[in-house]
């Protein structure tokens, strides 16, 4: 629900509760005043009658007199106001006793009270009108306020949507005289600065690590090769040196792959190339032809012309990783079937070893065979690439065959 709707709903609700209360209040006050008026009129008529009798010694004509009855002198009557219903009309009666020329009378003065229903109706409609106008006014003011007072707030939201931690572009918040907004802007500005700083630090840290580690690896590895060149190594020394050599190689590959992952996650590959997928696949198979032939793997291709918009480096990496994976986890004289159809790439291959469980397969450093020399980073990298473009990468095991499927958008 939008802020404006929310506020208006509140107002509407408030007025909805207020309106009946208002009507009730008004009615009570109205009725009280009206009754007072009626009573006052009756009393003043009573006084007028008394004054007339005093002056003229006879009862005057009065439209108020409802009845005058003789009564026994011993009957005492007090002045009394009484509400009564006479022929469907509500009336107020003033009943009192009067002595005139030795005769005793019971005088009843009558005054009609205004129709309650009409009063109700009048009060409700007039109050409704006022409340309606009030709501209209509030609504208008609110809309204006919403546009005017909140405008910097909405502009800042739009600006915030465009914040990208990976670039150095500063968010310029709109100045506002509203203190709370200004505070919010300040806090968000500080947060963004901090996040960008952290991001930059992390990026630099990653870069530094991968940079700084490469030179020592170069030196260490070349020294080991130089050592291996020297003669007279006994078996034990040789084994140790070989182990060092392999581990250094592994270290180098890990750091390269992790750097690649972090660069993909940092979205450093931002080109949108028009990538011809079948060409990429064929080139890749060409490069890997030797290994494929060596393993005697039969490659079946069924490629529909497909073009996608993405960074060609990433697509190269993605497809290479998947094809390499299909070669590596294959058996001698196995097969690989690559199909490209309806913007989906399916790579099916005969399997060799116990596959990793489905939910773990894209984890970093996850290997089908723990003894394997592979790092288990290839599929993690593939997964990362797919995430960037919202491609769907799925793995399934069909009998003894493994299948990876990439659904391009």
Partner 1 sequence: MKVLVVEDNMELLKDVRNFLSEEGNICELATNYKTAQEKIGFFPYDILIMDLNLPDGDGLDIVKSVKMDKIDVGIIIISARNALGDKVEALELGADDYLEKPFYLSELNARAKALYRRRAYHGRKEINFNEISIRPESREVFVNNTLLNLTKKEYDIIHFFLINKHRLLTKEAIAEHLWGDEVEMTDGYKFIYTHLANLRKKIAAQNGEDYIQSIYNVGYKFSNRA
Residues that bind partner 1 (CB under 8 A): 210-215, 217-219, 221-223, 225-226, 228-229, 233, 238, 242, 245, 249, 252-253, 256, 259, 263, 268, 287-288, 290-291, 294-295, 313, 320, 324, 327-328, 372-374
Q: Which is nearer to partner 1, 44 or 218 (CB)?
A: 218
Q: Which is nearer to partner 1, 159 or 316 (CB)?
A: 316
Cβ distance to partner 1 smaller for residue 357 or 369: 369
Nearer to partner 1, 156 or 206 (CB): 206
- CB of 239: closest distance to partner 1 in angstroms? 10
Task: Name the minimum Å distance from CB 236 to partner 1.
Answer: 12
Give 239 or 341: the residue with its C-beta nearer to partner 1: 239
Q: What is the three-state SS of the chain?
A: CCHHHHHHHHHHHHHHHHHHHHHHHHHHHHHHHHHHHHHHHHHHHHHHHHHHHHHHCCCCCCCCEEEEEECCCCCCCCCEEEEEEECCEEEEEEEEEEEECCEEEEEEEEEECCCHHHHHHHHHHHHHHHHHHHHHHHHHHHHHHHHHCCHHHHHHHHHHHCCCCCCCCCCCCCCCCCHHHHHHHHHHHHHHHHHHHHHHHHHHHHHHHHHHHHHHHHHHHHHHHHHHHCCCCCHHHHHHHHHHHHHHHHHHHHHHHHHHHHHHHCCCCCCCEEEEHHHHHHHHHHHCHHHHHHHCCEEEEEECCCEEEECHHHHHHHHHHHHHHHHHCCCCCCEEEEEEECCEEEEEEECCCCCCCHHHCCCCCCCCCCCCCCCCCHHHHHHHHHHHHCCEEEEEEECCEEEEEEECC
Judged by CB, which is closer to partner 1: 229, or 342? 229
Smallest gap from Cβ 226 to partner 1, in A, equals: 8
State how far the Cα of 236 lies from the Cα of 223, in Å rounded to an integer.
Answer: 18
C-beta of 140: minimal distance to partner 1 in Å?
57
The residues pairing with 302 across neighbouring beta strands, listed in sequence order, are 339
Asked if 375 contacts 307 with a C-beta cutoff of 8 angstroms, the reply is no
Characterize the bridge pairing of strands 103-112 and 80-86.
unpaired
Residue 68 or 352 with smaller CB distance to partner 1 = 352
Do 284 and 323 touch, CB atoms closer than 8 A?
yes
Q: Among residues 171 and 299, whose Cβ is nearest to partner 1?
A: 299
Nearer to partner 1, 5 or 371 (CB): 371
Query: Least CB distance from residue 342 to partner 1, whole Å?
Result: 29
């Amino acid at each position: 629900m939008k802020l404006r709707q929310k506020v208006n709903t509140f107002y509407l609700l408030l007025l909805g509760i207020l309106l009946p209360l208002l009507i009730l209040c008004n009615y009570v006050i109205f009725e009280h005043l009206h009754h007072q008026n009626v009573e006052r009129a009756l009393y003043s008529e009573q006084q007028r009658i008394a004054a007339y009798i005093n002056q003229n010694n006879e009862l005057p004509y009065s439209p108020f007199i409802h009845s005058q009855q003789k009564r026994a002198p011993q009957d005492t009557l007090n002045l009394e106001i009484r509400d009564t219903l006479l022929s469907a009309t509500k009336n107020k009666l003033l009943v009192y006793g009067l002595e005139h020329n030795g005769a005793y009378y019971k005088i009843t003065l009558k005054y009609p009270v205004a129709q309650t229903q009409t009063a109700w109706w009048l009060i409700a409609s007039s109050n409704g009108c006022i409340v309606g106008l009030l709501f209209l006014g509030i609504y208008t003011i609110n809309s204006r306020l919403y546009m005017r007072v909140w405008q910097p707030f909405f502009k800042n939201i739009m600006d915030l949507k465009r914040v990208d931690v990976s670039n150095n572009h500063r968010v310029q918040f709109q100045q506002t005289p509203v203190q709370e907004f200004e505070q919010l802007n300040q806090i968000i500005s500080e947060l963004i600065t901090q996040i960008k700083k952290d991001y930059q630090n992390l990026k630099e840290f990653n870069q530094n690590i991968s940079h700084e580690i490469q030179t020592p690896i170069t030196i260490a590895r070349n020294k080991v090769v130089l050592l291996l060149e020297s003669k007279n190594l006994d078996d034990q020394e040789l084994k140790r040196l070989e182990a060092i050599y392999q581990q250094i190689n592994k270290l180098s590959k890990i750091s390269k792959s992790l750097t690649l992952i972090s660069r993909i996650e940092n979205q450093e590959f931002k080109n949108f190339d028009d990538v011809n997928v079948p060409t990429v696949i064929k080139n890749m198979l060409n490069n890997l032809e030797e290994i494929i032939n060596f393993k005697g793997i039969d490659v079946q291709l069924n490629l529909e012309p497909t073009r996608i918009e993405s960074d060609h480096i990433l697509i190269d990496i993605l497809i290479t990783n998947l094809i390499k994976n299909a070669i590596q986890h294959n058996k001698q004289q196995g097969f690989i079937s690559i199909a490209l159809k309806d913007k989906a790439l399916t790579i099916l291959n005969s399997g060799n070893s116990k596959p990793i469980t489905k939910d773990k397969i894209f984890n970093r450093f996850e290997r089908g065979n723990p003894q394997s020399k592979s790092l288990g980073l290839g599929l993690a990298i593939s997964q990362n690439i797919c995430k960037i473009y919202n491609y769907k990468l799925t793995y399934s095991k069909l009998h003894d065959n493994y299948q990876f499927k990439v659904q391009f958008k």
